[in-house]
Structures are given as structure tokens and as C-alpha cells.
Structure 1
Amino acid sequence: MYKEFFNLKEKPFSLNPDPDFLFLSKNHIRAQTMLEYGFHSQAGFTVITGDIGAGKTTLVNYLLAQEGDDVVIGVINNTHASFGNLMSWILDAFDLEEPSPESAKKLRKFTEFIMDQYAEGKRVLLVIDEAQNLSEETLEELRLISNINIASDVFLQLILIGQPELIEKLNDPRLTQFAQRIGVDFHLRPMDYVDTGKYIFHRLKVAGSTKSIFTSDAIAAIFCFSEGVPRRINTLCDMALVYAFADERKSINAQLIIDVIKDRNLSAVIRPTALQSKEVQDVAHWLQEVKGVNISGMLPQIEIPTQNA
């Protein structure tokens, strides 16, 4: 809709986890390093957690895209219990037919598959997204499946991706044995103000833009409302581009961002979750005192100090 108006090859702020648009903030670089370390050091379990929309899946997809034919990859995207059981998910992830409804035979089928791949010099990697939905029983079943890894031989590697609730589950004393199997873990935090600006410019550049469509005060407002969470940034930037196109404006400022928030009633979706964030207060104060843009009334529970405070 707005691509031609802004001379873009594609939408820069799609919500799909596209590795081509991957931007490595300071925290994302650390997460990527931990992922690569876990994989190449042959850790049995690697766990990556982060808030909704933090970019976890995009990071993992980027890692998977770099691997060669010596790695056989299976991905489980839906972990809700109503969609089946663990062994059925695993067999489907590797395009293996279920030998029978019996779990023992399914496990034997998968074990034979792993050993066949190992004999051919290949590694098997199982990625489980939305792992916070896994029950305690399912996590314990995963641990038992990983028993195929003996001594120094790692036949099966697992990457678990989940929201912060996964951390709480793995700290449950009943899952102590599982937690002891985790070789690498990392919690992906939101981006700071500087990386938020770099992220926006990066995605615009990848999409074909040669200009800075968003002004500095617009980026400050976007950071305050999104608090550095990539998915929230994408939602707000995409809507801002639509609004700018409708108004035939080639540049987006903070007032337009505020208009988007007000008119589209997005504040309940993309308002900050970590309301104690000092950086948000500092940026909001800069907007108010330097740019004359007051967003304090739209950021619940955040008191923006005045110059005389």
C-alpha cells in the first residue's frame, strides 16, 4: 500500500520472523553468541527466553539458515496439549511416519532415525518454540528422550525457545534433573533507546529506503511506547507508515506517532510493560523539555520529572 510512496521494495516492519531483517542489538549479539556456542559445543539442551516479540524466533531461524547438510533439523512450533503429544510432534517435525499409537514404538522409531543420521555423520537438532506451554510431564519426557546422549557422544541436540514463564518452570524443584541438563541458557532483553533507532533504520534500509523516514523525536516516542520490544516497534512503525501515506507525508514525527496511538487505540497493546524503566523516563523527559512533545499522559504510572524537579 505505502511501498511505492516511500520507494520501498517490501514492507520493512512485517511481524513475521524474517532472518533477512535480523538486526543484532547488543543483547541480540549476546543471545546469538550463546546460541552458536550451545550448538557448536554440542550442548544437549540450549534454552533461550525473552518477552513476547523480543526476537527469539528470528534469532533461531537465522542460526538454522546458516547450517549445512550435515545437520538434520526438526522444528515444533505449536506446543499446546490439544494438538497431540510430544512423540507425535517430534516425528512430524522430522517427517517420520508414526509406526503405531504406542509411545514406546514412536520412541524406538525416533531413536533409530537418530542413530541412522549419526552413522551418516549428521547431527540431529530439535527446536521447540513456545516451550513455556510444555507441561512438567512433557519436559520430563524430553529429558528422558535426551538420555540417548551418552558419555561424550551427542546424538540429539535440543533448543527450547520460550517466554519468561519457561524460566519459572525450569526453576521448579521437581525439574531439577532437567535443569541440570541445560548446557547454555540466555534471557533476551528488550533493546535500549540507541539500538531502537538503529533497528528502525536497519529495517528501512533492508526494505530499500535511502532516507530517514522517522525523525529523532518520532524514534524517541516509538521507544517510549514500545520500550524496545521489536514486535511492538514493528506494529507501531507499520501503522505510522500507513498514516503518513494517507496524509501524503514523506517524514514521520512524534506527533504522528501519538496520532497513531490515539486513533488506532493501540496503547493497550504496545504500552510499556516495565513501567519502572528509567530510560523510558529519561527519553520521555527529553521529548517534553527539548522537543516540546508531552506524552506523559499516555504512559500510565510513569512520572516524567520536570526541569525544576
Structure 2
Amino acid sequence: MKKYYFFLFLLIFSKKLSAQINNTTATQGPKIGKSIFGNERKRNFSRKGDFFAMWGYNHSWYNKSDINFKGPGYDFTLRDVVAHDRQTKLSWAYLDPKRISIPQFNFHFGYFIKDNYSISLGWDHMKYVMDIPQTVKIDGHIDPMVSNPGIPTGGYAGVYNGESLTVGPEMLKFEHTDGLNYASVELERYDDIWVAPSQRTSLTMETGIGAGLVVPRTDVRFFQVGENNYWNIAGYGISAKLGFKLYITKGLYLQNSTKVGHIDLSKIRTTGRNDVDGASQKIQYIQNYTVLGFQF
């Protein structure tokens, strides 16, 4: 009789233990971040702890910008300067490993700190080209000889107070074409829009903010004097983005995003005489980029 009660106790205990293990297993399942879209099908895996890398190309649009030039014999500002990016024509440069960095590109490497949050390091290689010739407003002064050693300014010499001035190639060439490089740290959030029954394919919305340093290589000719300057930390930038990621497989994805940003450049190199000549400007931009990425 005692043996009967003993075996009955073991049977009940084993069932309770099994139920506790099952409950614990269910409780310890993957923690999936909540989505603002309330989709019915959820992923059965978590992204937390994953790394990702992506590479692709961008197209950028710039708001009008004031550019200040300052040095011995001059201190003037060109108002509402118009500029555009410089797209590389579709060619083997996009596929040749030796030339792959010539087009306007984006590279990011990141880590998922939570299922639906990641932090990444990025390098956005944009290009900024001032339209020449163009007519702008100008404030400040330009002496007949500027910089050190002196550079003649010809008919551009004068004192200005908002007059219109046509800037031609004999006065200025101004480009961040190698390029307007934004090195940033970004924080991203992800919300699943749709998950396929296979769990391998899904569509996810990405939002994010970022901040970092701007490292341009500026090509300038200032009254015919200048050079394609070396890269330098010229200022900082902040940005926000919104995009969509289509996971083709669990790891491989195609992404298109739009980024808006503000760049403040206080140490732009111009003539190459970095101890005496320089420029500064603030740029607002919109950038759209398409990248191919892999998560692992």
C-alpha cells in the first residue's frame, strides 16, 4: 500500500514538473519587439544579438546655403547658393572593387541591442557641387589682393551689402566631391509590417536618428588658386531617417530609406593655405539610398 502511494506521488510530481518546464520554456521563448502595425503573424525568432552590414548608393538634394569665405584681405558671404550632387553614370565603377567607392555610396555596420532596436556605424559618401556660374547676393568685402602670398581679384574687388553678383569660374570653383562624407553613429528602431508564413520573408519599417563628424575632401579654386584638398574633419552633422527593409531570406535584405540632415562645416579648406584661408557653411539635405544588406 505504501508503495502504491509512493508511485502515485511520483506520477503527480512528474506531471507538475513537466508542466513547470513547459511553462518555463514558453516564458523563455524569443522576446519579439512590439510592432505599431499590429500584424497578425509574428516572427518566431528574435533579432537581438545579430550583426548586420549593408552597402549601396545614394542620391541627394541640397537646400540653398550661405557660404562664408574668410582670409587676409577678404571676408564675404555668398547667400542662397545653389548646389547639386554628382551622380556617377551607370558603369563598371559600381561593380569594379577598385572603383566601387567612386559613386555616391552608403556603408553601415551594426548590432541589434534588442529585437527591434539596433546601433550602427555608418559612412555616407555624398557629393556637393556648387552651380557655376550663378547669380547670388553677396555681403562683405574683397580687396584687390587677397590671401598670402597675394592673389589678384580683378573686377570682383569691392565692398558689398546685399548686391547681386554673378559668380563665374574665374572667381570660384567649390565642390565637396571626394566627397561630403558623413561618418555617423545611428540608433534604429524596427516595426514589422508583414511576416510571411515561412517566417523567412518579411517587410519591416525602419526609423532612426544619428549624429557624427563630416569629413569632406573639398576641391576649390579661389580666384584660380586652390587644390583638391586632403580629407579633414570640417564639422558635424545630425540626421533622421525612415525606410523599408524587405527580407528576402532571414538574413539577406533589400532596403530603401530617406534621410534628412543638417551639416555644419566651420573648417572648410580652400586654397590649400590652411593657416590663412578657409570657408564655412551650413547645409540641409535630403538623401535617398538603396542598399543590399546581410544580417548574421
TM-score by length of 1: 0.18
Q: Kindly indicate which of the two structures has a greater share of residues assigned to helix.
A: 1
Q: For CA contacts below 8 A with separation 6 or more, give which structure has more relative contact order.
A: 1
- Which structure shows the higher strand fraction? 2
TM-score (norm 2): 0.18
Bigger radius of gyration: 2
